[in-house]
Structure 1
Amino acid sequence: MLLVAPIALVTACHGTVGAPSLALRPVEAQPVELPAPASETETPLDPTLAGRVEALVATAEDSQRAFDARRATTEKAVAAARGAPAGSEAWTVAQQELSALVVARGPVHDINAQVDALRQEPGAAGTANRALIDATVKQLAAMDAAQAAAIEALQRRLR
């Protein structure tokens, strides 16, 4: 009974409020027409930027070859450690090889970030430049993801 009395007093104070309704108004129900996207004129590829991107891709490809060579060594070490107890000599060697493989992944990851950062340069604002950067970042991201997947697969085999 003591709890009902304060509630009854609060509800008794309720009156009509003169504030506007929050219901949807007819003008708000009408569809909004968006402006047509601005057309952008094609711009030629900047040869300096293209040369920089090409050099970075070549470095990434060299790093991929080094990663592949290290991966072969790591796969042998992981196969030799299969079933070995944690802390054993074979297991330790496999862990060290996995660590070296993670380090070998670094250059491709870093190069991808460098190419992606080229977007911020004023000379990269042209359509052809952006298309080159976008395609290269996509290529390097796929390379980086494949390396990460290879490392993860080897780590799972070692557990």
Structure 2
Amino acid sequence: MTYRMAPALMLLFAAGCSAGGRGYPSLAVRPAEARGWAEPATPPPAAVVADPALDAQIATATTALAGNGRDFDAAARRAAPLVGAARGQAAGSERWIAAQSALAELDAQRAAASDTATTIEDLAGSRAQTGLIDYPALEAARGQATALLDREAARIKALQATIPAG
């Protein structure tokens, strides 16, 4: 009996697959496709408005940053002969300890510069949180702070590389 019903079931299923008079979807351009894919024009950036209070804070921070750089350079000049004397010395020797102390002073000087850089970053962060555009003097100060910290880190690393690790 199941073999006799198979052709009838196949006809029933085939009828379900017929088009039903709806036709095929249109291949015409749809409204979403007609808009195009080009980026919208961006408005020109707003003009930077002078901020005397921010300028004063930036001046204070950059002055402190310059002082940090001078202090670090002086400490590096003092550390260089001590590190030179520790070359080839065993870790734990007196010369090695003196060099490590000088390097610790350099780290402390770099930490002071890092504090000043953090102050500058805080100023930039506060400005960004309020939705204001970049302030050129502040961006210049951030660049100076980053360059100083990178230079100091490279100087410490170069001096540390010449003496044995503890």
* TM score, norm. by length of structure 2: 0.71
**CA displacement at 1:122 relative to structure 2:** 4.8
Match of 1:81 in 2: 86
**CA displacement at 1:97 relative to structure 2:** 0.8
Task: Give the unaligned 5+ runs of structure 2.
Answer: 1-31
Deviation digits for residues 4-29 of structure 1, max 9, x if unmatched? xxxxxxxxxxxxxxxxxxxxxxx99x
> For 1:158, what is the secondary structure of its paired residue?
coil
Match of 2:113 in 1: 108
Q: Which stretches of structure 1, 4 residues or more, deviate above 6 A after TM superposition?
A: none
Whole-Å separation in 2 of the counterparts to 1:80 and 1:120: 44
Distance 1:50 1:125, change over 3 A: farther
Whether 2:54 is the aligned partner of 1:52: answer: no
Whether 2:126 is the aligned partner of 1:157: answer: no
> For 2:135, what is the secondary structure of its paired residue?
helix
Match of 1:10 in 2: none
Deviation digits for residues 54-85 of structure 1, max 9, x if unmatched? 01110111111111111111101101111111
Structure 2 letter corresponding to 1:69: A
Whole-Å separation in 2 of the counterparts to 1:134 and 1:145: 16
Match of 2:44 in 1: 39
Query: How many residue pairs were aligned?
Result: 132
Structure of higher CA gyration radius = 2
Structure 2 letter corresponding to 1:52: Q
Calculate percent identity across the aligned residue pairs.
28
Match of 2:143 in 1: 138
Match of 1:93 in 2: 98
Mapped contact 2:48–2:135 kept (Cα < 8 A): no
* TM score, norm. by length of structure 1: 0.74
